[in-house]
């Protein structure tokens, strides 16, 4: 995706703008408010702080508004609720004060982080350990109990904390506390060479590592104003759709696990494993790590091996489609999936939810179709959307998308362009680029700045960061025993969110 040039699309306000800088949400051509894509800070060359607002106003390219501030901006969270976590993150990372924000408790940093240390601005060697206080919201009233879960959960999953306020079995309110796996990843990008950045991007969310690698690579290519060669783009498409297929099969299996339907769960893990082994045979890695780099691919893949791979994909997709029918026709599954964890459409829209979760709640959104990148303008596909918003809807969306992914892999593998897979990049001078990719969990957006081949800033908007705040709305009014199922149906990455 090409980013709008600074002169035409980007509004840059002068430094003398009022300290209470504020941005109003742009409108799309049809008058609907634009969707917030990302909000983040960066440092200027003289240490001044920039705040970047990226919106999707239903135009071919995203709209970026940059505000320069001396340290105080006006919150847009009341108008754009999706901005709430972003502004808290900005506050934590850059120490920018956000006037009028309803909740400025620390987000990324926990009790152990000292007040007044901002990692994107200050030196961060030997930050002392602190013991600050953190207050959860308290729901008061007769018969209300609090249930605290995590950060260490039962099972092989990532850490996060959930604070339920319940009446009997029914959840009145769920408060999330994430960022246990925050590894300071955005800071790690600072100062490293552009090519080394791929390895950091791949480690943001392990099961979506290829989407991260491609989004990062495309952002660099965007900064250099070049496109990856056609063969590289086509192979990237195969990798991205493979990742989506594996992720969706795994999710549907996980939903079966959470309702005790062992046959479905075991069959899904079997199909997933057959895909991972096919991938290992095709390119020597089970998760497509270490393949995409800025400029294309690190090495070419053998066309014959890709064809074998696509045959394995087609077998797996057929098996999964049979399995999905069996799962959807099972009355006990229908009973548990239907009407559980409904995410209303207006909440999904207010919180700018993305990916399969958004499409299950009636929001017609897919980066592959709306902002085609790489090889996606050469393939045809339908984007499934449904309005029920429950666990069943999210499962159905994933099942349909899995079939589409398998078809796209076969079509692309059967008509692979030839020639090289890597172009060299001109990295001298200022770099400024961004890129969005539809990862299995939804829109993944990379924004980066650099100088002479080294990065100075890289922001990662992960779909999980965007979708987590919506989950409590789907959980409210359900029984607490359905929480694991609803959580799984969102399938959010903790590490991707926490970064």
Binding residues vs other proteins (CB under 8 A): 109-110, 112-113, 119, 124-125, 127, 151-152, 154-159, 179-185, 187-188, 196, 199-200, 203-207, 209, 250, 263, 266-267, 269-270, 272-273, 276-277, 280, 284-287, 289-290, 298-299, 322-323, 326, 329-331, 493-496
CA distance to 55, 268, 275, 306, per residue, from 311 (Å):
40, 18, 10, 9
By beta-carbon proximity to other proteins, the closer residue of 272 and 457 is 272
| CB of 72 vs other proteins, minimal distance in Å | 25
Report DSSP state, residue 479.
B
By beta-carbon proximity to other proteins, the closer residue of 18 and 277 is 277
Cβ count near 482 (within 10 Å): 20
Report the candidate in 401, 363, 355 with the shortest Cα–Cα distance to residue 382. 401
Report DSSP state, residue 482.
G
| CB of 287 vs other proteins, minimal distance in Å | 7
Residue 231 structure tokens: 């063969």
Report the candidate in 232, 207, 230, 205 with the shortest Cα–Cα distance to residue 217. 232
By beta-carbon proximity to other proteins, the closer residue of 109 and 337 is 109
Cβ count near 228 (within 10 Å): 26
| CB of 154 vs other proteins, minimal distance in Å | 3
| CB of 394 vs other proteins, minimal distance in Å | 19
Helices in 284-390 by DSSP H: which ranges?
A: 303-328, 331-337, 345-350, 355-360, 367-370
By beta-carbon proximity to other proteins, the closer residue of 263 and 479 is 263
Nearest 5°: phi and psi at 440? -55, -25
Residue 228 structure tokens: 């990856």
By beta-carbon proximity to other proteins, the closer residue of 53 and 261 is 261
| CB of 93 vs other proteins, minimal distance in Å | 11
Nearest 5°: phi and psi at 187? -70, -35
Residue 164 structure tokens: 């339920």
| CB of 292 vs other proteins, minimal distance in Å | 12
By beta-carbon proximity to other proteins, the closer residue of 287 and 473 is 287
> What SS3 class is residue 325?
helix
Alpha carbons 440 and 241: distance in angstroms, whole number: 8
By beta-carbon proximity to other proteins, the closer residue of 144 and 422 is 422
Q: What is the CA radius of gyration of the chain?
A: 22
Neighbouring residues of 131: CB distance < 8 A, sequence distance ≥ 6: 111, 112
| CB of 129 vs other proteins, minimal distance in Å | 8
| CB of 398 vs other proteins, minimal distance in Å | 17
| First-residue to last-residue Cα distance in the chain | 24
Alpha carbons 78 and 80: distance in angstroms, whole number: 6
Neighbouring residues of 233: CB distance < 8 A, sequence distance ≥ 6: 227, 374, 375
Alpha carbons 342 and 336: distance in angstroms, whole number: 12
| CB of 428 vs other proteins, minimal distance in Å | 21
By beta-carbon proximity to other proteins, the closer residue of 200 and 223 is 200
By beta-carbon proximity to other proteins, the closer residue of 322 and 382 is 322
| CB of 127 vs other proteins, minimal distance in Å | 6
By beta-carbon proximity to other proteins, the closer residue of 23 and 485 is 485
| CB of 214 vs other proteins, minimal distance in Å | 16
Alpha carbons 219 and 214: distance in angstroms, whole number: 8
By beta-carbon proximity to other proteins, the closer residue of 42 and 495 is 495
Contact 252, 230 (CB under 8 A): no
Q: Which residues lie across from 149 on neighbouring strands?
A: 162
| CB of 238 vs other proteins, minimal distance in Å | 18
Residue 468 structure tokens: 């987590």
Residue 208 zone, left/alpha/beta (φ > 0; ψ -120 to 50; rest): alpha
By beta-carbon proximity to other proteins, the closer residue of 61 and 203 is 203
């Amino acid at each position: 995706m090409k980013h709008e040039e600074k002169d035409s699309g980007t509004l840059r306000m002068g430094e003398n703008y009022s300290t209470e800088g504020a941005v109003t949400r742009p409108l799309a051509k049809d008058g609907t408010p634009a969707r917030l894509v990302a909000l983040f800070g960066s440092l200027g060359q003289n240490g001044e702080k920039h705040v970047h607002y990226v919106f999707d106003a239903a135009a071919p390219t995203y709209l970026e508004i940059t505000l320069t501030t001396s340290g105080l901006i006006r919150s847009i969270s009341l108008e754009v609720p999706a901005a709430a976590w972003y502004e808290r993150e900005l506050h934590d990372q850059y120490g920018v004060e956000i006037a009028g924000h309803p909740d400025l408790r620390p987000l990324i940093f926990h009790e152990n982080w000292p007040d007044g240390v901002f990692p994107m601005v200050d030196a961060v060697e030997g930050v002392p350990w602190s013991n600050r206080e953190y207050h959860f919201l308290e729901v008061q009233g007769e018969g209300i109990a609090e249930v605290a879960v995590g950060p260490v959960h039962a099972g092989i999953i990532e850490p996060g904390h959930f604070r339920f306020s319940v009446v009997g079995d029914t959840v009145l309110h769920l408060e999330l506390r994430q960022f246990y796996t925050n590894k300071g990843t955005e800071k790690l990008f600072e100062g490293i060479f552009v090519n080394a950045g791929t390895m950091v991007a791949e480690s943001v969310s392990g099961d979506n590592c290829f989407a991260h690698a491609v989004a990062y690579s495309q952002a660099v290519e965007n900064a250099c104003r070049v496109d990856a060669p056609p063969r590289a783009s086509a192979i990237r498409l195969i990798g991205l759709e493979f990742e989506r297929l594996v992720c969706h099969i795994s999710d549907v299996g996980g939903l079966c696990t959470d309702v005790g339907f062992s046959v479905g769960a075991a069959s899904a893990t079997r199909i997933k494993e057959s895909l991972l082994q096919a991938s290992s045979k095709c390119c020597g890695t089970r998760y497509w790590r270490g393949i995409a780099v800025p400029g294309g691919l690190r090495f070419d893949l053998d066309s014959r091996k890709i064809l074998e791979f696509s045959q394995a994909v087609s077998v797996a997709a057929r098996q999964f489609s049979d399995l999905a029918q069996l799962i959807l026709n099972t009355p006990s599954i229908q009973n548990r999936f239907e009407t559980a964890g409904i995410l209303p459409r207006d909440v999904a829209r207010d919180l700018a939810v993305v990916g399969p979760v958004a499409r299950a709640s009636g929001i017609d959104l897919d980066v592959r179709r709306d902002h085609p990148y790489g090889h996606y303008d050469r393939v045809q596909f339908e984007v499934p959307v449904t309005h029920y918003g429950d666990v069943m809807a999210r499962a159905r969306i994933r099942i349909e998308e899995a079939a589409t992914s398998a078809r796209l892999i076969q079509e692309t593998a059967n008509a692979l362009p030839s020639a090289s897979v890597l172009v060299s990049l001109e990295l001298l001078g200022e770099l400024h680029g961004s890129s969005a990719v539809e990862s299995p969990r939804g829109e993944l957006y990379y924004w980066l700045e650099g100088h002479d081949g080294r990065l100075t800033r890289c922001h990662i908007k992960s779909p999980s960061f965007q979708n987590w705040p919506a989950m409590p709305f789907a959980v409210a009014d359900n029984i607490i025993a359905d929480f694991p199922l609803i959580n799984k149906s969102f399938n959010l990455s903790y590490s991707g969110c926490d970064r």
